[in-house]
Amino acid sequence: MRNHFEGQPPLEDPHRPQYHFLPPANWMNDPNGLIQWKNQFHLFYQYNPYGAFHGSIHWGHAVSTDLVHWRHLPVALAPTPDGPDKDGCWSGCAIDHNGVPTIFYTGVSPQVQCTATSSDDLLTWQKRLQPVIAAPPPDIREHAGGDLRDPFVWRQDGLWYMLLTSKIEGGGGLVLLYRSADTINWEYLHPLISGDVNQRDPFWTGTIWECPNLIDFGDKQVILVSLQGTPNTFLYVCYFTGEFRQESFTTHSRHILVPTNIFYAPQVMRLDDGRVILFSWILEDRTARSALQAGWSGMMSLPLECSLLEAGKLGLAPVRELQSLRKNHSRFVNLQPNGSFLLLQGQALEILARFEPAPGSAFGLKVRCSPDGQEQTLIICRENQVIIDSERSSLNTDVNRRITSLPVEIEGRINLHIFLDHSILEVFVNDQSYLVSRIYPSRPDSLGIGVFAEGSVNIPQLDVWVLDSIWE
Ligand code: DQQ
């Protein structure tokens, strides 16, 4: 197998992030097997060591002591020729099974659920030769088209439970529930949640579901699923809030987690200190050819802290450990932009800005601006929406440009907390809601950061930090 440290993309690649996790080269997609083990955080991920395209999926592996700085470790799982995972080791999770690190993942093809254990603190893995779930349950076998994957396992009331995702052909997505006393013998119980059949429903939940997660918030539970729709392919992440009781789930409400199709297949882990941390795969938003040329594709979101807000929605906020990356600091006070102006330059920055707008004003920040404004990306607040407008982000035609928007209440004040890292822009609104976009400016001088307003806005304080790299 080719070592993934070969073929490093050139360091001067202007689009490669420096404080987001990604492998040294090649393709990555979903986070897998997130686990805190002996005071270290382990991040596994879907990885192709042979190039910047999805294929021959392995589990890459990295470790961190603070969720922010990562060290690459050798590939953890590779397909075994003639094994049940010969065509790929697809997504899954990690648990502590009576002191033994244990992972569950999907072997292809056909899609079966496999397990492996480690006796050297997660470095190497011994696979169980036979899958623990070798086929879809009889009641959905004919309708699932072979799709059954992405085990999510947790312990409750002295038993192990597993969620898997699937679909009903012509129906919609499915989350299936299994139970086990020993993690080897799994009993299928029933579908836990199923999707919509009506493709005209404005909240149509797609043709197939993937990567289920259950988050336990005590008296409420949240189930996350990643949705895909064909033929009008879309990807997004949806969550159901409700109650998991007596092996059934009662849905109270359902929501889209992040309104974009470049944030997909997130996974959560509960830390020993009680926080729920989420990482998500952030897709490229440029042609497959550009990614192949760059030699890398995909990255992880920042580590996000997940909470259940009073309104019953999931909140996403940057973890406090990110503050350790802060270097040079600039502070601007009492800015009152009338029109627009640039403040400074940078491409690996954290920006924290408080706005106090008059009713009806449109205002915000702009990043990656060329001096003549030919390239620029806007973060606009207007009419109770926060919008990332990347329509003018790049002159390169191999790059997608889009409008991404999030509804928010702007009642006299709003905080924007922005993380810009070369080709990724993440925006937290009031440190609760999250928006993300990919931008690939083509001009080396597209580095300007500024503010703008139409109408009247006061910015009592705007802080900017240059952020350090997460690599040693
Ligand atoms: N990615 C994995 C699958 C999962 C999909 C394959 C979601 O296990 O369903 O790389 O991105």
Same domain for 298 and 373, yes or no, is no
Ligand 1 atom at shortest distance from the alpha carbon of 150: 8
Number of domains in the chain: 2
The response to whether residue 58 sits with its C-beta less than 6 Å from ligand 1 reads no
Same domain for 128 and 275, yes or no, is yes
Ligand 1 centroid–CA 197 distance in Å is 22
Q: Which range (53-62, 192-201, 356-365, 412-421) has the least confidence?
A: 192-201
The response to whether residue 85 sits with its C-beta less than 6 Å from ligand 1 reads no
The response to whether residue 106 sits with its C-beta less than 6 Å from ligand 1 reads yes
Write out the E strands in 248-324. Answer: 248-256, 263-270, 276-282, 296-297, 299-300, 304-308, 314-318
| Residue 20 within a domain | no
Same domain for 252 and 150, yes or no, is yes
With a pLDDT cut of 90, the percent of the chain lying above it is 88
Same domain for 240 and 347, yes or no, is no
Domain boundary among 278, 295, 318: 318
369: nearest Cα among 358, 380, 381, 377: 377
Same domain for 310 and 448, yes or no, is no
Mean model confidence pLDDT for the chain: 94
Same domain for 311 and 369, yes or no, is no
Q: What is the pLDDT of residues 298-321, one digit of tens each?
A: 999 999 999 999 889 999 999 999
Tell whether the model's pLDDT for residue 10 goes beyond 80. Answer: no
Q: What is the pLDDT of residues 241-264, one digit of tens each?
A: 999 999 999 999 999 999 999 999
Ligand 1 centroid–CA 196 distance in Å is 21
Q: Using most ligand atoms within 8 A of CB, pick from 150, 233, 236 the residue to mutate for ligand 1.
A: 150
Q: Which two tokens stand for residue 186?
A: 């799994």
Rounded Cα distance, 188 and 166, in Å? 13
Same domain for 303 and 331, yes or no, is no
Average pLDDT over residues 424-443: 97
Q: Is 30 assigned a catalytic role? A: yes
Domain boundary among 302, 318, 334: 318
Rounded Cα distance, 115 and 126, in Å? 9
Q: Using most ligand atoms within 8 A of CB, pick from 85, 114, 174, 211 the residue to mutate for ligand 1.
A: 211
The response to whether residue 167 sits with its C-beta less than 6 Å from ligand 1 reads no
Ligand 1 centroid–CA 423 distance in Å is 23
DSSP letter for each residue of 457-469: EEEEEEEEEEEPP
Same domain for 407 and 446, yes or no, is yes
437 contacts 337 by C-beta, under 8 angstroms: no
Residue 1: per-residue pLDDT: 41
More confident call, 343 vs 168: 343
CA 144 → CA 103, 138, 187, distances in Å?
24, 10, 18
Tell whether the model's pLDDT for residue 99 goes beyond 80. Answer: yes
Tally of CB atoms within 10 A around 410: 19
Question: Where in the sequence is the domain holding 144, given as residue range(s)?
Answer: 26-318
Tell me how far apart the terminal alpha carbons of the chain are, to the nearest angstrom: 26
Residue 190: per-residue pLDDT: 96
Q: What are phi and psi of 290, to 5 degrees?
A: -65, -40
The response to whether residue 210 sits with its C-beta less than 6 Å from ligand 1 reads yes
Tell whether the model's pLDDT for residue 67 goes beyond 80. Answer: yes
212 contacts 106 by C-beta, under 8 angstroms: no
Q: Which two tokens stand for residue 222?
A: 């949240």
Same domain for 312 and 336, yes or no, is no
Ligand 1 centroid–CA 207 distance in Å is 15
Q: Using most ligand atoms within 8 A of CB, pick from 210, 281, 284 the residue to mutate for ligand 1.
A: 210
Which H or E element spans position 226? strand 221-229
Q: What are phi and psi of 448, to 5 degrees?
A: -70, 145
CA 207 → CA 9, 236, 259, 283, distances in Å?
36, 12, 18, 20
The response to whether residue 113 sits with its C-beta less than 6 Å from ligand 1 reads no
How many residues belong to the chain?
Answer: 472
Ligand 1 centroid–CA 85 distance in Å is 14
Residue 5: per-residue pLDDT: 46
In the chain, the amino acid numbered 117 is T
Rounded Cα distance, 91 and 45, in Å? 8
The response to whether residue 93 sits with its C-beta less than 6 Å from ligand 1 reads no
Catalytic residue among 30, 85, 147, 421: 30
Q: Which two tokens stand for residue 22?
A: 């990604």
Same domain for 329 and 307, yes or no, is no
Rounded Cα distance, 117 and 159, in Å? 19
Residue 55 sits in a domain whose CATH number is 2.115.10.20
- Residue nearest atom 6 of ligand 1, based on CA coordinates: 90
Strand partners of residue 349: 420, 466
| Residue 60 within a domain | yes
| Residue 17 within a domain | no
Residue 335: per-residue pLDDT: 96
Q: Using most ligand atoms within 8 A of CB, pick from 89, 91, 165, 237 the residue to mutate for ligand 1.
A: 91
Q: What is the pLDDT of residues 336-361, one digit of tens each?
A: 998 999 999 999 999 999 999 999 99
Ligand 1 atom at shortest distance from the alpha carbon of 54: 10
CA angle 431, 152, 266 (to 5 degrees): 30
Residues 6+ apart with CB under 8 A from 132: 104, 113, 114, 115, 183, 184, 185, 186
Tally of CB atoms within 10 A around 299: 24
Same domain for 175 and 135, yes or no, is yes
Tell whether the model's pLDDT for residue 6 goes beyond 70. Answer: no
Same domain for 128 and 272, yes or no, is yes
Rounded Cα distance, 212 and 106, in Å? 13
Q: What is the pLDDT of residues 104-122, one digit of tens each?
A: 999 999 999 999 999 999 9
With a pLDDT cut of 70, the percent of the chain lying above it is 96
Residue 3: per-residue pLDDT: 44
Domain boundary among 318, 338, 367: 318
Residue 300: per-residue pLDDT: 98
311: left (phi over 0), alpha (psi -120 to 50) or beta: alpha
442 contacts 318 by C-beta, under 8 angstroms: no
- Residue nearest atom 9 of ligand 1, based on CA coordinates: 210
* Residue 231 pLDDT class (50, 70, 90 cuts): low
Q: Which two tokens stand for residue 287?
A: 């042609």
The response to whether residue 147 sits with its C-beta less than 6 Å from ligand 1 reads no
| Residue 378 within a domain | yes
Residue 416 sits in a domain whose CATH number is 2.60.120.560
| Residue 19 within a domain | no
